Structure 1
Amino acid sequence: MINRICCSFALVGLAIAFPIAGISQATTPSVSSPDGQLVMSFSVQPSASLGEDGSGRLMYSVTFHGKPVIDKSALGLDLDDKTPLGMNVTITGSKADSGVDDYSLAFTKVSHVHDTYNSLAVTVNEAGSQGGRSMIVEARAYNSGIAFRYVLPKQAAIPSLHVSGEDTEFRFTQDDTAWVLALPGYRSSYESEYVRYNLSSLSNQGGISSKFLIGMPVLLQQPGGAWMSLMEADLEGNSSAYVTNPTGSWAGHMFSVKLSPREDDPAYAVIGDLPHHSAWRVLGVADEPGRLVEANLQTDLSPPNRVQDTSWIHPGKASWNWWVDNVNKDGNSGNKYFTTDTMKEYVDFAAAAGFPYFFLDAGWAARDITQMNGRVDIPALVQYAAKKNVKVWIWLYSESVMRQMKEAFPVYEKWGVAGLKIDFVNRDDQDGIQFFYDVARYGAEHHLMIDFHGCHTPWGLMRAYPNVMSYEGVLGLENNKMGRRDSPVDRSVFPFTRLLAGPMDYTPGAFDNATEAGFVARNAAPMAMGTRAQQLALYVVYENPIPMVSDSPQNYKGQAAFQFLKDVPTTWDETHVLSGAPGEFATIARRHGNEWYLGSMTNWDARTLQVPLQFLGAGSYVAEIYEDGPDAATQPKHVTIRKENVTAKTTMTLRLAPGGGAAIRFVPKK
């Protein structure tokens, strides 16, 4: 049983009998972070066209270290075909509070979270002829960022909920640099490059007005100032949000929110009843990008654990048949070898390596996903694996799960399946988001862990449903099979972009390593650009409680560097980003129990890094070091393995080859 304690307090309807530190009760209400460095302020911007009664457009702004990072930006909801709620309002009250998010997490980058915050609930009422609609904006200020959401209480003026959009803006004070995931539309797998742009270029390409639809998360850097991230949390009952720069101008430095429209009625994003709250809009703010990675805002803002018994949920590494095209022990590959006998070989490999899982990929099921198509006998494979202390995950097509979830999940539980890899979700409208929650809840009822692929990036769901272990939503290793889109450059961007949102199933572990010039994309016996030491480092740099060990058993046989993949854990008690910059390099240290692990990786630039080991704390350690060989620039498979005695006073020198890396295990000396 995982102990989960949430010490937060209700925001709405709470009477304040005394002032609280960090809260302003002025006519322009504001809330500040516990350390006083972040301040979010609310105001109404009058407009002559809206009358002379003091009403106007609801706005907010944000400062960090006393300097503006978000200028006055609009807040509001589009309901039915009326004037947006927030366009013509007065602030009629504000209620303040403070609290602590204190809870345990089982399978993430930390095992325990203790985050304090100040909060504010700002009530606005509509003026004019709209029938007196009202809305509350709930806001929280943490030391690591601010968050806000819209709350619509039950009211006669809004008999039912029909949200067509949001009027939420983020007007940045400068032409910030942004690393953005530009997507082709509202249905995608979130699998593309994070590309560096200035905000103004996102609204004006080639001298003409243009727009990008941008998925979450987004990383931004204010010139000479703050690093920021845009994300969302607690999407239950809502559709997902995207951002775009709508200005069409080379002087436009802003984002506005776009909600994913419903498939059955694209005029609306959210349909339902009142009371209702939107998802949280989350703005992480820090002096360095690594502090954004370390923050826990999404789980802070998500509901606590709903799974009473979690004793059956276990992280761990897995062998995998798909990336290597079902290659068997004789070196033959292809669909012809997608058989029960070949899959048993992957079970044998997992057992010999001490991995708890084998991931069986697509091709086993008939259209009725409670039936097999005759190629792989799932119950027989599960029974075979159980004798070797290995459990089996199975792949499923999302639309089949949508159609047959209630019939299929009890069957999988009866078969003894450990978990489900659900692929090609490719939607995040209101019903699509509900699908994630339905799978998580029904999966928990039938003791099934979940790995979502072809999907939206995480938003904190794993706190409420810890059986949701990971998500893809990334341009992963699989792209080596057909092209050149996966490279050390993209891998060095992901720690500061995609990884902000949570667990990332990138599927590392390639041991056929190639230089940029020597790489050849191929479906069978695939390669990966960059060094073998970088592939080892990814198991520390990337957070994922159920990572694949993706290459063939034959490629690992007799390779000394494989020992690190056997040793490295998959969940962490602490995470510290030691250094790095998006698209350049990343060095991350993580603790599991009394051992520490370090992963460092670079783009195509060779670099020498000085890494102080202050994170180790007291005591002496033996560092088991896996690093690029001296000739790894031309022979990327070469790894040097050595040991060194170290303490917290030690500064290690890491020499990374082009596309290289280093992976280190720190074991306390007895």
Structure 2
Amino acid sequence: MAASLLLAGATAAPALAQQAYTVQSPDGHLSARIFTGPQLRYQLLRDGETLIDTSAISLQLSTGEILGKPALVRSQHKGSVQQIISAPVYKRKTVNDHYNELTLALKGDYSVVFRAYNEGVAYRFATSKKAAFDVVNEEATFNFPANDSAWVPYVRQDNPASFDAQFYNSFENTYTVAPLASLDSRRLAFLPVAVNAAGGKHIAITEADLENYPGMYVNGGHGQTLKGVFAPAPKDIEAGGHNMLQGVVKTRQPYIAHCEGARNFPWRIMAVSTQDTQLADNDLVYKLASPSRVADVSWVKPGKVAWDWWNDWNIYGVDFKAGINNDTYKYYIDFASAHHIDYVILDEGWAVNLKADLFQVIPEIDLQQLVDYGKQKGVRIILWAGYNAFNRDLEKVCRHFSEMGVAGFKVDFMDRDDQAMVNFYYQAAATAAKYRLLLDFHGAYKPTGLQRTYPNVVNFEGVHGLENMKWETNSDQVTYDVSIPYLRMLAGPMDYTQGAMRNATRGNYRAVNAEPMSQGTRCHQLAEYVIFESPLEMLCDAPTNYMAEKECTELISAVPTVWDNTMALNGEMGQYISIARQSGNYWYVGSLNNWTARNLTLDLGFLGNGHYKAEVFKDGANADRAAKDYKREIIDVPANKQLTISMAPGGGYFARIYAE
């Protein structure tokens, strides 16, 4: 890691009624102004234009102190950092981490740190206290200068009885777009959220390095202000919920976090874009996460997964009864092996129901036999586990299944992000790493950089993924698909689970549990393997359906899941998106469209000089009526590197580009 650090000397500052401090981004466009005195406040500006107006921040402690009220400066430190971060499981091999930093040491054994990057600004509190304390509440406000529209994913409760009821949720919903003052003040929204600003700018709000602390929601409907809201820490938790696999909070503490003395608090991130594509190619969460705590990550193997649950184990043309049994999973393993797919997952059902005990396996499943069979075929097994079943004896579970030869776990139904649940994520990640197990957190809050700290955590849900097409009749998934690259994906990888071979136009779609379909075209599904960041990428459909679609299956199985480089080419939030990703000598380009037919020109100038060819999958001439219609062809990339493409309503485009 190459790094340069320039620190200005500490300078004493008198405790005046109010003082102002400024930190600027390396390119000089963004700046944060911090005001101290009676109340700690900040402003966010770009080229002198106010993006976030003066906003108060503070921490209320159980000792009676309020860190930030007042804010009396003892000293300041300014610094500049430029370093290269190695990123072994990410959308690029290396990340350029360049920022200017201001640290204000404040009376009361605490400090506030502001970092200014070219792509956004972040701040965090830190304390040097020696005694334990509780954080009763945190004040995190975002005052916007105009009543601009916001993109918010509400917690999915239309008429919530209280804020507390909303702290129990799956962190998946489509986006509501409305002026800030028109947001529903009764409802919480989970992060990331984004606010439009003048001149096509966006300010996206999220967080990073969320350790031993609850996640932040935002609440609107207060004029032009978004307010941070945090779940109180649980006091009494009982097993309950889905198949007794969830932790149901019965009572809560009068604080949001218990802290053992000195600590850093999470980063509050405000990513800024002047073009929408900048949000689709932003690294702030990864940069602000704690560095890897896993010394050797060579055993972490991202890849593709043949998945059983979405397709309802619905295979056909076989002489055995398909379901949760060894014959079915050997069929999945054979399919994965034949198509160079790294993993097969055993989703819910392999362990005895309602026991929350992973050591009680149903008689139809012989796990060791499946693991050994997969090993012979070059395919490893991942096991689904409900939260309670996984957490009740974390060390024993990880040790036992690692010794068996299992590759990892998909852990589901956490559905909270209070302090206790956040701590579970870290404990699970550390224990799984000890036994060289991968983790995919399903039923999860959005990523906050844990995937950098523990690279064996390869995926997170926290997304309104394709599973919802099994039962939802009114959701506009296609529009959602061209929104999440700018919003949810800003936080990190997504366990979206694409790959449907049954595809439907807007008018033909219907929810079918046992034979589900996607909204949009076949090429929309194929392009998602490029567009969506997901180091552990599932093939959601049935092996039988894939084997009937040889071209598409070969394409899906060949697309990498981690990358050497990534760049967003063009797009508009909620309209369309094009992204290029490099792996070795190949560039993969994907485009996704909303429900409006569209022609685009892709600038492939990054290829440089030379002659290039592309394997292309594009919407067929009749894809607007028969969504599965597509055409594969080999084309010459134009000499001027300007490639014009067409996409049907709900369409997509895929290209694999290589030098001739």
TM (normalized to structure 1)?
0.90
AA at the equivalent of 1:660: G
The counterpart of 1:153, out of the listed 114, 122, 128, is 128
Counterpart residue number, 2:195? 220
| Residues 420-431 of structure 1 mapped to structure 2, 5 A cutoff | 420-431=409-420
Distance, in Å, in 1 between the alignment partners of 2:476 and 2:198 is 29
Deviation (angstroms), 1:246: 6.0
Does residue 118 of structure 2 align to residue 143 of structure 1? yes
Q: Is the 8 A contact 1:616 1:648 kept in 2?
A: no
The counterpart of 1:196, out of the listed 171, 177, 185, is 177
Deviation (angstroms), 1:405: 0.9
Percent of aligned pairs with the same amino acid: 36
Counterpart residue number, 1:172? 144
The counterpart of 1:117, out of the listed 76, 99, 119, is 99
Deviation (angstroms), 1:388: 0.8
1:328-347 Cα shifts (integer Å, max 9, x gaps): 3437999x621111111011
Distance, in Å, in 1 between the alignment partners of 2:6 and 2:227 is 28
1:184-215 Cα shifts (integer Å, max 9, x gaps): 41121111112212111115xxxxxx332111
Q: Is the 8 A contact 1:424 1:453 kept in 2?
A: yes
Counterpart residue number, 2:26? 34
Q: Is the 8 A contact 2:109 2:129 kept in 1?
A: no
Deviation (angstroms), 1:548: 0.7
Does residue 60 of structure 2 align to residue 78 of structure 1? yes
Distance, in Å, in 2 between the alignment partners of 1:606 and 1:331 is 40
Distance, in Å, in 2 between the alignment partners of 1:667 and 1:371 is 50
Does residue 378 of structure 2 align to residue 389 of structure 1? yes
Counterpart residue number, 2:231? 260
Counterpart residue number, 1:553? 543
Distance, in Å, in 1 between the alignment partners of 2:388 and 2:417 is 13
- SS at structure 1 position matched to 2:485: helix
Distance, in Å, in 2 between the alignment partners of 1:341 and 1:40 is 61
AA at the equivalent of 2:301: H
Q: Greater shift after overlay, 211-220 or 277-286?
A: 211-220
AA at the equivalent of 1:396: A
| Residues 623-662 of structure 1 mapped to structure 2, 5 A cutoff | 623-646=614-637, 649-662=640-653
The counterpart of 1:518, out of the listed 482, 505, 508, is 508
- CA-based RMSD of the aligned residues comes to 2.0
Distance, in Å, in 2 between the alignment partners of 1:602 and 1:318 is 26
Deviation (angstroms), 1:413: 0.5
AA at the equivalent of 1:395: W
Does residue 373 of structure 2 align to residue 398 of structure 1? no
Does residue 602 of structure 2 align to residue 611 of structure 1? yes
1:296-327 Cα shifts (integer Å, max 9, x gaps): 11111111111112121111111111111112
- SS at structure 1 position matched to 2:479: helix
AA at the equivalent of 2:659: P
| Residues 6-405 of structure 1 mapped to structure 2, 5 A cutoff | 7=3, 15-16=9-10, 27-44=19-36, 55-80=37-62, 82=64, 84-125=66-107, 133-154=108-129, 159-183=131-155, 184=157, 185-202=166-183, 210-245=185-220, 247=222, 252-264=223-235, 265-330=252-317, 337-366=323-352, 367=355, 368-405=357-394
AA at the equivalent of 1:520: R
Q: Is the 8 A contact 1:174 1:223 kept in 2?
A: no
Q: Is the 8 A contact 2:182 2:221 kept in 1?
A: no
Q: Is the 8 A contact 1:602 1:658 kept in 2?
A: yes
Q: Is the 8 A contact 2:53 2:144 kept in 1?
A: yes
AA at the equivalent of 2:201: A
Deviation (angstroms), 1:27: 4.4
Is there any run of 5+ residues in structure 1 with no aligned partner, and where?
19-25, 45-54, 126-132, 204-209
Distance, in Å, in 1 between the alignment partners of 2:289 and 2:639 is 36
- SS at structure 1 position matched to 2:482: helix
Q: Greater shift after overlay, 184-193 or 337-346?
A: 184-193
AA at the equivalent of 1:172: F
Counterpart residue number, 1:463? 452
Deviation (angstroms), 1:392: 0.8
The counterpart of 2:492, out of the listed 502, 521, 526, is 502
- SS at structure 2 position matched to 1:284: strand
1:247-302 Cα shifts (integer Å, max 9, x gaps): 2xxxx111121122111133211102211221000111121121122121111111
AA at the equivalent of 2:112: V
Which portions of structure 1, spanning 4 or more consecutive aligned residues, are displaced by more than 4 angstroms? 8-11, 331-334
Distance, in Å, in 1 between the alignment partners of 2:305 and 2:358 is 23
Q: Is the 8 A contact 2:85 2:97 kept in 1?
A: no
Q: Is the 8 A contact 2:215 2:417 kept in 1?
A: yes
Distance 1:524 1:510, change over 3 A: same
Instruction: State the aligned residue count.
Output: 625
AA at the equivalent of 1:256: K
Q: Is the 8 A contact 1:194 1:497 kept in 2?
A: no
Deviation (angstroms), 1:6: 7.4
Does residue 570 of structure 2 align to residue 579 of structure 1? yes
